Every structure is written in C-alpha cells, then in structure tokens.
Structure 1
Amino acid sequence: MATTTTHRHSETAEATAGGLTVFAAVLLFIAGVLDLFRGIMAIANDDVFVNTPNYVFKFDLTSWGWIQLVLGVIAMSVSAGLFTRATWARVVGVGIAGLAIIANFLSIPYYPVWSLTLIAMYAFVIWGLCIVRRDR
C-alpha cells in the first residue's frame, strides 16, 4: 500500500514538474517574440518610443533595439530546449529571464506598459523554472 501511494505521489509530482516547465517554455517563447518585435521596432523606427531626455540610464534606442533583439532570440532558442526538459535549458532560462528583466526595467521610460508586461512574464518564467524540484 505504501509503495502505491508513493508511486502515485511521484507520478503527480512528475506531471506537475512537466506542466510548469511547459508553462515556462511557452511563456519564455512568447516573451522572446515580444522582445524580438520590440528590438526590430527600435532598430527600424525610433519614433515609436517615448522621448525621455532626463533619464538616468539613457541609451541610444538603436542599441537598446539590438539588445532586446538578441535577448529575444536567445529566449526563443532556450524555450526550445525547455520543451525537451533539458536541465541546461532550465538554468539558462532562469539566467536569460533575469537579464531580460533588468533590460526591461532599464527601458521602462521608453515603453512603460510593454516593459512592465514583459517583466511580469519573465518573472513567471523564473517562478515556473525554479519552483519545480526533481526527485532523484
């Protein structure tokens, strides 16, 4: 009886781990696509963004566009690894989501709603990847 309960608990834990990893992978992919689009917008046309002359972390919008574009491509690539449940993808996913949160925080004055939305999405990615503990 005890092994049946343990076996069921193990199956439930594995299903939960798989579900949260897939959730994080999908969210990471979507956030990566949004970062990719924002990068393209910043590179192609700086007029879309708000002009903030007195911002402490002022950068050239074309440079920010390239940063967002690269982070988006890496995020989309890592999400493909998460669909295979690769351990390296979980570690890199947390790292890239953390970097993307910092990049989006620094670009809040240029596009505030989009930045805050992406910060929330990347925070959920980190949560989804860190909450699951694999049983040995």
Structure 2
Amino acid sequence: MTTTPGGKTPSAPVQGQGSTSAWAGGGVIFAGVLMTVGGVVSVFEGIAALAKDDIYVPIGDYTFKFNLTSWGWIHIILGVIVFIVGVAILKGLHWGRVAGVVVAALSILLHFLWLPYQPLWGLISIAFGVFIIWALCTDDRSHTVI
C-alpha cells in the first residue's frame, strides 16, 4: 500500500462523489454541438418567419399568440445567443456551462410557446433542452473541444 507525503492513503473516488458518468461527460460535448447547431437553425427559423407570413400557419386556436414578425426576431436573437453559448461550452468555459443551463431553459419555454406553429419540432427542441440541462448539471469536469 502506498502513502502520500503526509502519511495519508489515497482512496478511490466513490461513485457519485467526484466521479462522473461517461454519459454526462460526452453529453457536455454533445450539448455544445446541439446548442451551436440549434442556434443556427433558430436563426434560419427567424429569417423564414420574417420573410413570409404564410410559411408558418398556427394549428388551431392557442392562448399565447404573437405576430410572426415578433416570433422571427425572438428566434433570431435567441439563436445568436444559443450559438455563442454553445461555442463557449465547446471551449470549456465555466460561464458557458452556467449560461447554457439558463439559455436551454429559456429555449424550452420559447419552443413551448412555439408549439402551435411547429408541434413536432417544438417537442424535439424541448427534449434537446432537457438533455442539455441534464448534461451540463451532472458533469463536473471541464471539456475543451475547440
């Protein structure tokens, strides 16, 4: 048995205390990629909403109604922010991970309100947001990809 200077015996990390799941570790990188790609897609959604009002037609009557021009600008602004935060996560910056949780939560809310225009994509985006929050909150290592 080996000892460290000072006479203490090193111990292996216990699951859940200082060690992380491989899913969460890879999930952080995947979350960064999802956020960068999702940000670009959101910008394109916003441009499409601004370009023509007949591209997105709401399905049924919905409580939360906004003008498509407003939705276009919301998607463009949030898309740029999501892209920047995704790049920060891929660079391994701590503020990017914190901002990633906040922006993913905001994106979940946005896509919930966007459901009458694109129900399937809205549900997929909500699921991605939940995964991003989980991955960023469970992994305690910093990852640098770019």
Q: Distance in 1 between matches of 2:105 and 2:122?
A: 14
Q: Write 1 or 2 for the structure with the bigger share of helix.
A: 1
1:69-116 deviation line (CA, Å, top 9, x unaligned): 111111110111111211110110111111111011001001111211
* Structure 1 unaligned residues grouped into runs of 5+: none
Query: What pairs with 1:1-136 in structure 2 (closer than 5 Å)?
Result: 3=10, 5-6=12-13, 13=20, 18-52=25-59, 54-134=61-141
Identity %: 45
Secondary structure of the structure 2 residue equivalent to 1:48: coil
Question: Quick check: which has more Rg, 1 or 2?
Answer: 2
Which letter does structure 1 place at the counterpart of 2:69? T
Instruction: Tell me the CA shift for residue 5 of structure 1.
Output: 4.4
Deviates more, 1:45-54 or 1:76-85: 45-54
Q: Distance in 1 between matches of 2:132 and 2:36?
A: 10
CA RMSD, Structure 1 to Structure 2 (Å): 2.5
Q: Distance in 2 between matches of 1:16 and 1:113?
A: 26
